[in-house]
Amino acid sequence: MAQTEQVWGSRIGLILAMAGSAVGLGNFLRFPIQAVQNGGGAFIIPYLISFVLLGLPLVMIEWSTGKFGGKFGRHSPPTIMQTLNKNKFWRYAGSLGLFSSIIICSYYCYIESWILSYAIHSVVGTFNDLTEMEISSFFDSYLDLGTSTSGIPYDTFLCFILCLFLNVFILSHGIAKGIERAAKVTMPLLLFFGLFLVYKAYTMKAGVQGASFDSVVALNFLWTPDFDSLLNPKVWLSAAGQVFFTLSLGMGAIQTYASYLKEKDDIALSSMTAAFTNEFTEIVLGSAIIIPIAIGYFGIDRVIELTQFGGFGLGFRTMPYLFGQWGPVLSALAGFSFFGLLFFAAITSTLSIAQPFVAFLSNNYDWSQKKTSYFLGIVILAMSLPCILFFDKGVFDQYDFWGGTVSLFFFAMLEAIAFSWVMGVDKGWEMIHQNADMQLPRVFRFILRFVTPTMLIIIFVASLIKPKDDDWSLLSFKGWELDNSSIIGELRHQNVGPNKTWFADEFYAENEGVVKQISESIIEIEGKEYALPEGAEVLVSVDEEVSFAAPLYKAKVVNSVFYVDMCRIGLLIFLGLLCVLIYKAKPHNFEEKTECQQ
């Protein structure tokens, strides 16, 4: 059996890197928003159940299959999946792991650049004395490539290039000297910054530094359960999705990291330690920063309203303003800590997500780690450009939906089926406990065999056919109206609105209300702004009541649905290219039989 040349230098380095892979933006921006939107304290009940029934079993599956594949010199999802069964289907199933890793890296790296820039702006005092509206507008200006927020031309794109180079540079130094060293520095700093912000949030007092409410008000709101929400399938689906997202499952990252374990390394204790480190970061730190600080200043009703815009809305449009209430020194320190926390969380996740593709090319095409890493940088740059250039056209959301949600969930479902039903739980249980420092409860054997694969299939089918507004009482043999967010609804462009054609001669209103403003560049209707192309003939007037789908202007229009469809076609082509790479890879990496394939 082949033994990899690259291995982890220490258990603590491995655990920190694995935890860093899981600890990402979802812990600090997504989890608290999900909790508020799904019943507060009641959300933690389905969340913890999903963690036990889905999260931990999938962690075990990915750690054990990764280590097993590493024994045969296989370090990427296609080759690792092939170790479980000789059918060639499984190597191409592994292409989804590579697909998710590249697509997620492409937009995650872009988000990293936002965070780094905001950390710098916080330190230099850019947000001092700005109103909440001005800080919100600053974010819009930052995303506009033609606008400089620092005086440096194209600063948004240059910051992205800097973040991309930093990731590639660390990856080029390999597992022990690159990723492990980075994790040993970034993870302790992440925890330090997080604990500082938690302390500030927990000690907020009404009337001090402009706060309107004590921190206890926010904590009571966040953790007082609304038990009626437990009967809502939407809450359970949201909880399962959050567990899945937060543990970095289904993208090949954990599998690849585990493939560099030594023969005698334990995975039972190490995998549990990494998983629970992530949960501590999410539940203890993630829930105690954004929501408590925001409620302390805005109150519960206003924060519930703000959560409708998601974690990015609160994180980038609101938090710099709230930190500004603490005075110039503490504001700079808090802003640097918050965005530094997010940056370290993002970069450790990006490194892990990128490694599967690096490992695939290194092992199957005899490329060096350095050459592969820099080639990956070129691939990510090419894949990121549509996301950056057409951000406002919905390309970013398409990347996140297909690469960061559907693909990784489907791949994890296939992993569970291959492990539990194709290879068999008996062999899998033995893999998990090889050289183990602890014995897992035998109930997990039952969960791995029956519960986890079945739940994943049910959740996937539910996401395909989800009825409108998550009202599952609508299910009928006669059919039902699909929700816009369902996979089929997304494919059918149900959420597009009236501008459904690629090209048109008129543009139609996507909301109703009174026309508030018309200028040379925009039409504003009830807070929603529509950009006017040059030479457009405006068909409405100020103070006019406009209905949904009413024509707003005449011009040669290229609707966002064109960019969405071009993005989908591009993603399909990219997935096809990955399958070609797998087809052209070294045959012996797939064809050499293991004991699981006998």
Number of residues that make up the chain: 598
Whole-number percent of the chain with pLDDT over 70: 94
Please give the helix or strand (H or E) that residue 170 lies within, else none. helix 155-172
Task: Give tens-digit pLDDT for 314-351.
Answer: 788 888 988 888 888 888 998 999 898 888 888 888 88
Q: How far is residue 373's CA from residue 357's CA, in Å, rounded to a whole number?
A: 9
pLDDT band at 97 (very low <50, low <70, confident <90, very high): very high
Least confident of 59-68, 69-78, 582-591: 582-591
SS3 518: strand
Q: Looking at the predicted structure, is the pLDDT value of residue 565 above 90?
A: yes
* DSSP per-residue string spanning 297-358: HH-HHHHHHHGGGHHHIIIIIIHHHHHGGG-HHHHHHHHHHHHHHHHHHHHHHHHHHHHHHH
Report the sign of the C-alpha dihedral through residues 375, 143, 147, 339, in that order: negative
- Residue with the larger pLDDT of the pair 18 and 437: 437
Cβ within 8 Å of residue 115, ≥6 positions away: 339, 342, 343, 346
Instruction: Give the pLDDT of residue 1.
Output: 37
Instruction: Give the pLDDT of residue 588.
Output: 67
Q: Looking at the predicted structure, is the pLDDT value of residue 596 above 70?
A: no
Q: Looking at the predicted structure, is the pLDDT value of residue 584 above 60?
A: yes
Instruction: Give the pLDDT of residue 350.
Output: 86
Instruction: Give the pLDDT of residue 60.
Output: 92
Instruction: Give the pLDDT of residue 594.
Output: 64
Average pLDDT over the chain, rounded to an integer = 86
pLDDT band at 499 (very low <50, low <70, confident <90, very high): very high
Q: Looking at the predicted structure, is the pLDDT value of residue 2 above 60?
A: no
Task: Give tens-digit pLDDT for 212-225.
Answer: 888 888 888 877 77
- Residue with the larger pLDDT of the pair 546 and 236: 546
Instruction: Give the pLDDT of residue 4.
Output: 45
Q: Which long-range contacts (CB under 8 A, 24 or more apart) does 445-454 make?
A: 447/52, 447/53, 447/57, 448/57, 448/60, 448/61, 448/419, 448/420, 449/420, 449/425, 451/53, 451/57, 452/53, 452/54, 452/57, 452/58, 452/416, 452/420, 453/413, 453/416, 453/417, 453/420, 453/421
In this prediction, residues 101-128 reach a mean pLDDT of 91
Instruction: Give the pLDDT of residue 8.
Output: 66
pLDDT band at 415 (very low <50, low <70, confident <90, very high): very high
The pTM score is 0.88
Q: How far is residue 399's CA from residue 109's CA, in Å, rounded to a whole number?
A: 13
Task: Give tens-digit pLDDT for 187-199.
Answer: 888 888 888 888 8
Instruction: Give the pLDDT of residue 216.
Output: 84
